[in-house]
Amino acid sequence: MSWCCCNRLSTSSSSVTSDLWRQFNVPCRISNVGLRQKRSVSAYYGLKTPPYKLDALEPYMSQSMVEIHWGDHHRGYVESLNKQIEKNDIFYGCTMDELIKLTYNNGNPLPEFSDAAQVWNHDFFWESMQPGGGDIPKLGLLQQIDKDFGSFTIFKDKFIEAALTLFGSGWIWLVLSREEKRLAIIKTSNAVNPLVWNDIPLIGLDLWEHAYYLDYKNDKANYVNVFMNHLVSWDAALGRMARAQAFVNLGEPKIPVA
């Protein structure tokens, strides 16, 4: 499924937040909400560093590509988000997950949504890769993939197909669906991520052109295949799956906690 997040509300953020907090039951740590007093805080969300050296993904993702993608595009989303919150700090104190769910506003995103989601998406993307990645998942995660897709080969083909058929800019995710209690592959357009539907993401692949143009030009297929064969971190996915089982009862197989 493909989703667009370009709609905007004519209503201001401050006039809808109270209803959103109640609806989503999000306990943002906000004091004096609704009072337009000036805050002394000048920094909100920071730029996280990838969990490896910037040249660690070579030759499959060059240091130059990481420096531009992380140091320019990712940093730009962080700075833009902080500027928006500085002008209207009604969301100050929310975690990034809380901020995304609130500003998505049931599919009518508030102005802060795209930057907040892209900050979260990029943090998740860097952590979805590792030096020496690729190969196949391990332990119960592989068993769950076999159970829900038929085999790892079928899953891999479906993931690649989803990436190559995504129209425009967006993301491809392997998620654990809370509602269906199974793994699924989903497409999202622009900045939308699975948190807005309360799914639990395990792997995220950035399909904005800025993620691959320097190393792969317009060859998206090569980029996607390299990601699956040499970059994806099944170790990270296994850890995320183990944590997810605290919230979703999948029955067998159980995902062992490392």
* Structural domains of the chain, with CATH: 63-250 (3.55.40.20)
The angle subtended at Cα 236 by Cα 235 and Cα 238, nearest 5°, is 65
Query: What is the rounded distance in angstroms from the CA atom of residue 179 to the CA atom of residue 50?
Result: 31
Q: Would the annotation count 230 as a binding residue?
A: no
Nearest to 90 by CA among 25, 16, 143: 16
Tokens describing residue 11: 């209503």
pLDDT of 33: 36
Query: What is the rounded distance in angstroms from the CA atom of residue 226 to the CA atom of residue 27?
Result: 40
Cβ(204)–Cβ(193) below 8 Å: yes
The pLDDT tens digits of the residues spanning 151-200 come to 999 999 999 999 999 999 999 999 999 999 999 999 999 999 999 999 99
CA atoms within 13 A on the CB side of 245: 16
Q: Which amino acid is at 29?
A: R
SS3 58: coil
pLDDT of 87: 84
pLDDT of 151: 97
Alpha carbon of 50 to those of 15, 127, 207: distances in Å? 36, 7, 18
Residue found by looking up tokens 């800025």 in the block: 210
Q: Would the annotation count 69 as a binding residue?
A: yes
In this structure, what are the phi and psi dihedrals at residue 55, rounded to the nearest 5 degrees? -100, 5
pLDDT of 43: 57
Query: What is the rounded distance in angstroms from the CA atom of residue 82 to the CA atom of residue 118?
Result: 13
R_g of the chain, CA atoms, integer Å: 19
Task: Give this prediction's pTM.
Answer: 0.83
User: Which residues of the chain fall short of a pLDDT of 50?
Assistant: 1-18, 21, 24, 27, 29-42
Q: Which helix (H) or strand (E) holds 174?
A: strand 170-177
pLDDT of 88: 77
Query: What is the rounded distance in angstroms from the CA atom of residue 74 to the CA atom of residue 47?
Result: 8
